[in-house]
Structures are given as C-alpha cells and as structure tokens.
Amino acid sequence: NAGVTQTPKFRILKIGQSMTLQCAQDMNHNYMYWYRQDPGMGLKLIYYSVGAGITDKGEVPNGYNVSRSTTEDFPLRLELAAPSQTSVYFCASSREGGALNEQFFGPGTRLTVL
Amino acid sequence: QKEVEQNSGPLSVPEGAIASLNCTYSDRGSQSFFWYRQYSGKSPELIMSIYSNGDKEDGRFTAQLNKASQYVSLLIRDSQPSDSATYLCAVNRGGGADGLTFGKGTHLIIQP
C-alpha cells in the first residue's frame, strides 16, 4: 500500500511555462485535495474533489486547474507559471468528507519558478 | 475569513516534560479538529483528531477541545527529542465545503 504518491519531487520552471503535478492514491479514497505551503505558513487549499468527475475551488485556486477522471488520480495543472507559485505542493486524500475528513498527505512537490 | 491561530514559537521543553500546544479558531460552526506533525522538509502526518468537547488520549498524546472557548490544545507527555517538529492545527472548513483550514504551526523543540 503506497498511500499517496506525488511526482515530481522537485521542479524548476521558467516564468510562463506550464506543468502538471501528479498525484495518485491507492486507498480507494473518494476525497482528494491539493494544498500549497509557503515558508513559515500553514497549508492553503487550492482545489479539492469529492469523487471522479467532481472538483471544486478552495481558498487559492487562481492560476491552477484540476481534473479527476479516475478515483486514483488527481493532477494539478499550472498553465502560466509565475514566481508567486513558488511553493511546496501537497496532495492529500481522505475516506470521508465533511467533518470526518482525516486527510493523509503525499510527500510533496517542491516547485521553484524563476 | 475563517482563521486558525497558533503561537509560532519556538516552544522549548525539556526532555521528559509535558509539551502543551494551543490553537484557537474563529468559526463557531467548525465540527472537527486535527493535529498534524510536520518534520522539516517532510509532509504533514496526522497524529490526533477530535470532534467532541473534552479530552481524547492516544498514547503520549492528549487532545483537548473546548468549543465554547473555540480552543483546541495538544499535550505531549514524556516529551522525547524525536517529538521536535512543527505541529499544525487544522479545522474543517464547514459550510458544505470540504478541506481543512490550517494554522501556521508551532515549532516545538525538545531539549535533551
């Protein structure tokens, strides 16, 4: 049971480039989330999904897009990278939603935009 | 804007003592509360969840919730150097939305 996996671990982008951060889970969790964490800050929710084909915005969705075609995968797309998107990105999943959403996190992707 | 507040620290505690970490939240409608531990350069790891007023114990960890005061705390008994980490308090967003709102975390240092 690998849990939540993320690729790549590290990436450097130039301003204006695009990339997709991959996230997969093998726990058959319906709920998946993307967060970003800036230095010395708490995690901020970018997007989340309550099941295949259903996604919704979190606190800081601007500059990002998501899709959820399968239960297992929840990729995050950056279309036009900006220095403000330099951050560590964490994907998480949970079995339940609402008040019972104990979330389990992947190892993260450290992204630098220059 | 729903907020979760934590003292950023660092909080320095001698080995073997009790470490007490505190968190306040602004949304009275919040229903679930979580403590995550995050080592430097690593991802958050869930250590406790609490949903009802009172105490919940799991090994050396005790979570305490007081909804009237909008206050959550985490006690770590018999603190070990391996407990040195940043502890994140998180609260469910509520209002039909999923996901968690996190505090900035408290940096805990256990002194041998």
For A42, which of B92, B93, B103 is closest by C-beta distance?
A: B103
* Mean pLDDT per 10-residue interval, chain A, length 114 residues: 94 97 96 94 93 94 96 96 97 85 94 96
Instruction: Report the alpha-carbon distance of residue B28 to residue A20 in Å, rounded.
Output: 37
Mean pLDDT of chain B: 93
Q: Is the pLDDT of residue B97 over 80?
A: no
Contacts of A108 in chain B (CB under 8 A): 42-43
Asked if A42 lies within 8 A of B104 by C-beta distance, the reply is yes
pLDDT in tens, A3-18: 999 999 999 999 999 9
CA A40/CA B73 separation, integer angstroms: 20
DSSP A75-108: -EEESS--GGG-EEEEEEEESS-GGG---EE---
The residue among B98, B101, B102, B107 with the most chain A CBs within 10 A of its CB, best to mutate, is B98
